[in-house]
């Protein structure tokens, strides 16, 4: 039974019809079956020769929409009967292009049908179609149907790709046909023959299709030998066939040569005994080694990788290497082609490092004015390896680096800058010269100054160099330069990026006194960060990170003279926080540090801050540490658990009485302005905090309890939860209610995530740290009703219905634009109507905007923080439900499809 689809769900189909000049068929279409009937009617009734272009467009459309148009054996038989009728008419009118399109459409419809229909129902039709194609291929050297026979061979190739070894019984006959054929269809015959031979000799290939089904075809045509169960190609016959394929390669196009060569290489890998005939490919290597074709170069690269010891002599290696080097720097080639050749050259040299000594003209790899930043970096990486043992090479590289620096502007991709780090590290390892040790820190400082978010890569570079090159002066020099740069009045850091700067300061404090420059750091903090105008804007995490820096200064420097040099500035920073900050936790911690500084001697301060058993400096480096406790204890098993509470919310429609309010015409503009306010609010998820069976009731009270979350930066962040004192009374029936907390998520992308959770708390001056079970956030956790403006809160139903309609129209229109700023998708749920309806109202009750005219059409409007929408229309049928979706974030489609499919698994 063909699926019925509402008119509004055929918009994409209509767009395809219009693009193929079939707009006349878009009227009065209410289902795919109706559309299929009209398409077949055009194919059968239009007899005028001028209509062949129209028929060809219809055949192309059926090929494109085969998966939607055909859903039963009856549909397929009807399509096949129609196309055969058209095929015969075309033979009389001599229109080979329409004939070829008929064959392609028939093959596509048949292969797509295996996704929906069992192979038993398709076996007879499949067998007939394959034998029909084989019959056409058999008509070798027929000048009247050269194009049709070439298309038939292409269709058989597609079938063999989907069903490996399905044509193995007729490999001998295909070989005979390929030998006899002398027209332009010859290369398609050879491509088909090469694929069938490769599948036949691959002993370990499983006979399964792309869909896990395999038709049990019973060949009857004269093209296929009878009473042969599993013919095996003998070595002499196979060698003869492979030699024939190689001999005929000069008659084929470059694309066909590449395809056939790939099959031959696979044959030789599956049959090592066949590699004795590999020298027949030598002319191919000699020819392709001197061309600018990327396809030809790729084939030579594969031959060198798998059969190089047989085919390649030393002069062949040198010729191929020089050609790769020349093509990677040829100004006439486009940038992406040169990048491809650079990758191939690098891969080749990785496999054959001894060939680097054969390169005499390394100047070709010097970056040119026509190179972009990525090409620039790839060339520099290769240059570093090539010049490793050459004198005065560092001067050449420094000059190349200077030109690269001009191209790395603010806003360059993080990927590009990450590659830069790898290149500079390679330079440092390959060329340990004073000149290079000075130039590399300078470049890194310049790039970091332009983009402060680059700081983590630089810190990782410092750590890597310290681990691998302990005698290198680069880490100290680079840290010192960064500290000087970031403590200048014109520093490019803002409050949003200042946590990167603090990472630099914290690392510098643990290195060397001359690197740290604590006085400059504290003066900068006092003047620009913890001043009256800025201090109140500090986030909880940033404030504690600043206090961690203060703690490190207090605990790392035990030289009395040095400590007294900056203790005044340190006290001023703490007093500024105490005077200008409103956060209680920050005030408490700053007060403790200030009291210690003014009341204790330097020696006594060290005794308080540093535990004999374990130094707290490693703990305080983390922004989540906030205790002044003198000892740390890590719990192997958590005594706390935090679980997500199911969101229990009611529809806005039920919360307010309906009042008639005029809906403004510019509803989308009003909604967009309202989103600028809504998107700044965090998404609040309720959490249930409770104790586990490992909790010791003697502890009673957890002091200064805080919970911290770690999530992927690309997903978003979660603010820590400060709970303070958490008491657990001894209750024999354990009836004490759990503590409910608000988990505030600031999302970048509303995708499912697994968040790591850690709890810090103190008990009697001992700081405890325990890792809790991960918090799994699923897509429904991010669902929110469409934001309703305060002015219309008294009329939620009318407002939301009108807003849904406007948003749907707007997003659907945007999905059809060239920029693709919105996206559509369709999902089919194979369930009874009652089950889907029950699940729908259970999972999406608060987000349903019910259509009062038709109970079988349910509209769902969902807002995904920070600014995305997900709109869905559910069309409920007896045995299935069609869900049409539109959203302004393409990645949401994959998650929501998976979410809806999970309904069926329950």
* Pairing assessment for the beta strands 766-777 and 631-635 based on DSSP bridges: parallel
pLDDT of residue 133: 93
Rounded to 5 degrees, φ, ψ at 70 are -115, 125
pLDDT of residue 630: 45
Q: Token pair of 44, please? A: 């059968």
Asked if 263 contacts 197 with a C-beta cutoff of 8 angstroms, the reply is yes
SS (H, E, C) 391-444: CCHHHHHHHHHHHHHHHCCCCCCHHHHHHHHHHHHHHHHHCCCHHHHHHHHHHH
d(CA 25, CA 755): 52
Q: Token pair of 130, please? A: 């394959």
Asked if 98 contacts 59 with a C-beta cutoff of 8 angstroms, the reply is yes
The DSSP letter of residue 701 is E
Q: Token pair of 170, please? A: 């007729």
Name the nearest CA neighbour of 775 among 865, 868, 723, 707.
707
pLDDT < 50 regions, the chain? 1-8, 226-231, 611-630, 648-657, 732
pLDDT of residue 193: 93
d(CA 122, CA 127): 8
Rounded to 5 degrees, φ, ψ at 829 are -105, 115
Per residue in 463-480, pLDDT (tens digit) is 888 888 888 888 888 888
Asked if 402 contacts 363 with a C-beta cutoff of 8 angstroms, the reply is no
Q: Which residues of 324-338 are buried (b: 16+ CB within 10 A; e: fewer)?
A: bbebbbeeebeeebb
Name the nearest CA neighbour of 171 among 212, 219, 99.
219
Q: What are the CA-CA distances from residue 409 to residues 423, 450, 455 (Å)?
A: 17, 7, 15
Rounded to 5 degrees, φ, ψ at 758 are -135, 140
Rounded to 5 degrees, φ, ψ at 184 are -70, -15
Asked if 606 contacts 555 with a C-beta cutoff of 8 angstroms, the reply is yes
| Element spanning 643, H or E | strand 640-644
pLDDT of residue 106: 92
Name the nearest CA neighbour of 461 among 440, 446, 434, 480.
440
Asked if 607 contacts 597 with a C-beta cutoff of 8 angstroms, the reply is no
Asked if 810 contacts 820 with a C-beta cutoff of 8 angstroms, the reply is no
How many other C-beta atoms lie within 10 A of the C-beta of residue 120?
10
| Element spanning 647, H or E | none
Secondary structure (3-state) at 215: coil
Alpha helices (runs of H) in 773-880, residue ranges in sequence order: 796-815, 833-844
Residues in the chain: 906
Per residue in 572-630, pLDDT (tens digit) is 888 888 888 877 778 888 888 887 777 666 666 666 665 433 333 333 334 344 444 44
Q: Give the angle subtended at the CA of 400 by the CAs of 398 and 404, to the nearest 5°.
A: 110
Compute CA 112 distance to the chain's CA centroid, rounded to the nearest angstrom. 27
SS (H, E, C) 31-66: EHHHHHHHHHHHHHHCCCHHHHHHHHHHHHHHHHCH
Alpha helices (runs of H) in 581-680, residue ranges in sequence order: 584-599, 602-609, 617-620, 652-655, 667-678
Quick one: how many helices (H) and strands (E) in the chain?
A: 36, 15
Q: Give the angle subtended at the CA of 697 by the CAs of 695 and 703, to the nearest 5°.
A: 80
pLDDT of residue 627: 42
pLDDT of residue 377: 75
Cβ-based neighbours of 224, under 8 Å, separated by 6 or more: 131, 134, 169, 170, 173
d(CA 326, CA 304): 18
pLDDT of residue 411: 57
pTM: 0.51
Which residues face 717 on adjacent strands? 746
């Amino acid at each position: 039974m063909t699926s019925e689809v509402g008119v509004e769900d055929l918009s994409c189909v209509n767009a395809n019809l219009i693009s193929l000049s079939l707009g006349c068929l878009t009227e009065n279409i209410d289902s795919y079956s109706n559309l299929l009937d009209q398409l077949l009617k055009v194919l059968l009734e239009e007899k005028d020769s001028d209509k062949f272009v129209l028929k060809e467009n219809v055949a192309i459309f059926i090929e494109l929409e085969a998966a939607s148009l055909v859903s039963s054996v009856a549909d397929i038989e009807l399509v096949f009967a129609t196309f055969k009728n058209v095929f015969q008419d075309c033979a009389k009118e001599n229109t080979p292009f329409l004939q070829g399109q008929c064959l392609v459409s028939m093959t596509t419809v048949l292969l797509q049908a295996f996704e929906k229909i069992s192979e038993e129902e398709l076996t007879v039709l499949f067998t007939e179609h394959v034998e029909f194609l084989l019959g056409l291929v058999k008509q070798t050297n027929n000048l009247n149907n050269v194009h049709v026979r070439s298309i038939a061979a292409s269709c058989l190739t597609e079938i063999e790709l989907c069903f490996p070894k399905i044509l193995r019984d007729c490999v001998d006959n295909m070989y005979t046909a390929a030998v006899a054929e002398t027209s332009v269809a010859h290369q398609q015959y050879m491509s088909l023959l090469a694929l069938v031979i490769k599948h036949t000799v691959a002993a370990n290939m499983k006979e399964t299709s792309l869909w896990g089904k395999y038709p049990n075809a019973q060949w009857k045509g004269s093209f296929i030998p009878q009473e042969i169960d599993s013919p095996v190609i003998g070595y002499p016959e196979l060698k003869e066939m492979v030699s024939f394929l190689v001999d005929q390669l000069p008659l084929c196009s470059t694309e066909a040569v590449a395809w056939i060569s790939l099959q031959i290489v696979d044959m030789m890998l599956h049959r090592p005994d066949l590699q004795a005939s590999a020298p027949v490919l030598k002319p191919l290597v000699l020819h392709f080694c001197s061309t600018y074709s990327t396809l030809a170069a790729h084939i030579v690269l594969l031959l060198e990788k798998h059969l190089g010891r047989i085919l390649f002599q030393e002069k062949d290696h040198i010729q191929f290497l020089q050609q790769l080097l020349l093509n990677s720097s040829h100004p006439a080639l486009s940038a992406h082609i040169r990048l491809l050749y650079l990758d191939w050259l690098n891969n080749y040299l990785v496999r054959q490092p001894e060939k680097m000594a054969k390169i005499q003209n390394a100047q070709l790899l010097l970056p040119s004015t026509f190179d972009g930043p990525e090409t620039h970096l790839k060339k520099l990486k290769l240059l570093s390896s090539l010049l490793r043992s050459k004198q005065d090479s560092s001067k050449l590289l420094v000059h190349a680096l200077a030109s690269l620096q001009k191209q790395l502007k603010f806003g360059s991709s993080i990927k590009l800058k990450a590659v830069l780090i790898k290149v500079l590290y390679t330079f440092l390892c390959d060329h340990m010269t004073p000149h290079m040790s000075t130039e590399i820190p300078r470049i890194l400082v310049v790039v970091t100054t332009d983009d402060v978010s680059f700081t983590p890569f630089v810190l990782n570079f410092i750590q890597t160099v310290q681990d691998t090159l302990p005698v290198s002066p680069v880490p100290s020099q680079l840290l010192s330069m960064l500290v000087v740069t970031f403590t200048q009045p014109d520093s490019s850091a803002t409050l949003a990026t200042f946590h990167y700067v603090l990472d630099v300061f914290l690392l510098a404090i643990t290195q060397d006194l001359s690197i740290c420059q604590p006085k400059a750091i504290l003066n900068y903090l006092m003047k620009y960060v913890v001043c009256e105008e800025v201090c109140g804007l500090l986030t909880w995490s940033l404030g504690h990170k600043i206090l961690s820096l203060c703690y490190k200064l207090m605990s790392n420097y035990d030289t009395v003279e040095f400590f007294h040099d900056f203790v005044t500035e340190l006290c001023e920073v703490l007093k500024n926080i105490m005077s200008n900050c409103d956060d209680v936790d920050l005030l408490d911690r700053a007060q403790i540090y200030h009291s210690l500084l003014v009341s204790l001697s330097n020696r006594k301060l060290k005794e308080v801050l540093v535990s004999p058993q374990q130094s707290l400096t490693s703990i305080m480096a983390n922004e989540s540490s906030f205790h002044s406790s003198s000892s740390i204890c890590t719990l192997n098993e958590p005594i706390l658990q935090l679980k997500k509470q199911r969101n229990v919310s009611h529809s806005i429609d039920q919360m307010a009485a309906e009042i008639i309010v005029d809906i403004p015409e510019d509803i989308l503009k009003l909604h967009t302005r309202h989103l600028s306010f809504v998107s700044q609010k965090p998404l609040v998820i309720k959490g249930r905090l409770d104790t586990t069976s490992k909790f010791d009731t003697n502890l009673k009270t957890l002091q200064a309890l805080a919970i911290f979350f770690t999530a992927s930066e690309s997903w978003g962040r979660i603010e820590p939860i400060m709970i303070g004192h958490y008491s657990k009374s001894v209750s024999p029936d354990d009836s004490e209610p759990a503590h409910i907390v608000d988990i505030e998520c600031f999302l970048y992308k509303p995708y499912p995530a697994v968040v790591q959770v850690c709890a810090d708390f103190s008990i009697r001056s001992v700081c405890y740290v325990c890792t809790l079970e991960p918090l799994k956030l699923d897509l429904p956790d991010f669902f929110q009703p469409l934001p309703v403006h305060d002015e219309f809160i008294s009329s939620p139903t009318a407002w939301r219905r009108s807003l849904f309609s406007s948003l749907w129209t707007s997003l659907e229109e945007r999905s059809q634009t060239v920029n693709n700023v919105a996206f559509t998708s369709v999902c089919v749920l194979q369930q009874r109507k009652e089950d889907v309806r029950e699940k729908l109202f259970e999972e999406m009750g608060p987000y349903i905007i019910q259509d009062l005219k038709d109970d079988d059409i349910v509209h769902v409007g969902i807002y995904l923080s920070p600014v995305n929408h997900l709109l869905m229309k559910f069309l409920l049928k007896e045995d299935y439900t069609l869900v049409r979706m539109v959203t302004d974030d393409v990645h949401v489609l994959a998650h929501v499809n998976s979410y809806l499919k999970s309904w069926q698994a329950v």
